[in-house]
Structure 1
Amino acid sequence: MRQFAVIGLGRFGSKVAETLAKKGVHVIAIDSDPELVGRVSDVVTKAVQIDSTDEESLAASGVKDVDVAVVAMGEDVESSILTTALLKNLNIKEIVARACTKLHAQILKMVGATRVVFPEEDMGIRVANSILSPGVLEYIELGADYTLAEIEAKSESIGHTINELDLKTRYGINVLIVKRKVIEVGEKAGEATEKEVKVLPTSDYKIQRGDILVVVGNSKDVESFEKHMK
């Protein structure tokens, strides 16, 4: 099982730690603030209150054994850079660091980060795209002008199979997954719950009302398909 460390437990870091923990992996959560450490202590494998810029404390926390370390503090630029450099010295192979600016990102890469992320910038892009294309429920840029998007099926596609829609030829996109809400009836009379299921669609899969199509393709092709589905 892969092991992870998340250093910096603000909104971004705590969410990363909680999400990883829910996947059942080993997570060490680290912050200098005891209140933030306490909030995730019941969720993660190990929660530690230390100053991550102190090399001895960082090494003693157990991070030397992790496969991936996430440096999640963003606003405290000095601490994020020092922590990243110390993780590099501890021979952590994969270091994902959060950056606030392009210069910050460049320095993080120089001192050892293998990947730099811009959560605020990425979220801004996704919000802007959701405003421009309200039919797109989720929008993720994959790089090299490719996009992964969740698009709700509209009337024109409902009742047709994937093969009949011929989306690859008409729009240059592929449907990877279909999300669908189903009602599960409980053992007690009148007991029912709504559940989301994910389907890997075959060519004869018939689109139903309420289906969410997870599609991938060139960004312009995805945008064209979304406009057609309005």
Structure 2
Amino acid sequence: MEKEFVVIGLGRFGGSIVRELNKLDIDVMAIDSDEARVNEYADIATHAVIADSTDETVLKSLGIRNFDHVVVAIGDNIQASILTTLILKDLGVAKVTAKAQNDYHAKVLDKIGADTVIHPERDMGRRLAHKLSNSSIMDYLELADEHSIVEIIAGPKLEGMSLLDLDLRANYGLNIIAIKRNGHITVSPDPGEYIQRGDILIVIGHDNDLGRFESKLEDN
């Protein structure tokens, strides 16, 4: 069966989730206390509802516990975000993803049971900083516990080297998990694979080790 989603908070972040789910032909209920915002998504979401998500009775009446995944995308009211998340978990919602405004907000969301806590503005800032600071970096995705995945485009320094020659695991504690080449992806590439200019290396590892490798690529 297809999953059903709820997005609470229809600012730029929550609204973008609703739009993308709609493009994927996935059922989504959109909730906000602002009538104008709800009207904006009336023709996009499967259901668009004006409601106060901090009112447990209202959420119960919407059958919120029957949905597979609820995204709390409230961006301008930390108290409402926390209370909404708490109510959702108390009502037995299986999966709750909540947007955090800052580290303190994230800690509270985590402690009250949010299954996933995201920092969209902070994460986007970090991704942009990595791309701006190093011309070899195409994309950067932060994982948990100070580990990340980075897409690195192979330039002259890497061209012609085999993965065995590069030996990122021994030299930097990193692992190349895939190579993108001419629109094709090779997962767990052979150590004897030679790197071609323009290859995109998908590398995973600790942030400090990734930083050392990125610096090496920028040297000289």
Q: TM-score range by the shorter chain?
A: 0.7 to 0.9
- 1:173 deviation in Å? 1.6
Describe how 1:146-161 pairs up with structure 2 within 5 A: 146-161=147-162
Which residue number in structure 2 is paired with residue 191 of structure 1? none
CA contact (8 A) 1:177 1:199 kept: yes
Q: Give the length in aligned residue pairs.
A: 216
Match of 2:5 in 1: 4
Amino acid at match of 2:126: I
Partner residue in 1 for 2:128: 127
More strand, by proportion:
1
1:205 CA displacement:
3.8
- Cα deviations across residues 87-126 of structure 1 (Å, max 9, x unaligned)? 1232113222222234433443454433333222333333
Question: How far did residue 130 of structure 1 move?
Answer: 3.1
User: Alignment partner of 1:229: what SS?
Assistant: helix
Question: 1:76, CA displacement in angstroms?
Answer: 1.4
The correspondence of residues 16-165 of structure 1 with structure 2, limited to 5 A, is: 16-23=17-24, 25-165=26-166
In 1, Cα distance between the equivalents of 2:49 and 2:184? 37
Aligned with 2:209 (options 221, 224, 230): 221
The 10-residue stretch of structure 1 (50-59 or 38-47) with the greater mean CA deviation from structure 2: 38-47
Distance apart, 1:157 and its partner CA: 2.1
Letter in structure 2 aligned against 1:153: A
Structure 1 unaligned regions, length at least 5: 183-195
Task: Show CA shifts across 1:175-209 (max 9, x none).
Answer: 122234x4xxxxxxxxxxxxx44332521444333
Per-residue deviation at 1:213?
Answer: 1.3
After superposition, what is the alpha-carbon deviation per residue over 1:21-71, rounded to whole angstroms, capped at 9, x for unaligned? 555544322223344334445554433332222333323334221222111
1:212 aligned to which of 200, 206, 209: 200
* 2:189 aligned residue: 202
Alignment partners' CA distance in 1, 2:121 and 2:36: 24
Partner Cα separation in structure 2 for residue 158 and residue 201 of structure 1: 19
* TM-score, with structure 2 as normaliser: 0.80
Poorly superposed stretches of 4+, deviation over 6 Å: none
Q: 1:8 to 1:202 in 2, by over 3 A?
A: same
Q: Provide the rounded CA distance (Å) in 1 between the counterparts of 2:172 and 2:166.
A: 10
Q: State the identity %.
A: 39
The change in CA–CA distance for 1:156 and 1:104 in structure 2 (over 3 A counts) is: closer
Change (3 A) 1:200 1:9: same
Q: 1:199 to 1:27 in 2, by over 3 A?
A: farther
8 Å CA contact 1:153–1:229 kept in 2: the answer is no
Structure 1 residue 81: deviation in Å?
2.5
SS of structure 2 residue aligned to 1:138: strand
- The alignment's C-alpha RMSD in Å is 2.8
Q: Which runs of 5+ in 2 are unaligned?
A: none
Q: Larger deviation: 72-81 or 57-66?
A: 57-66
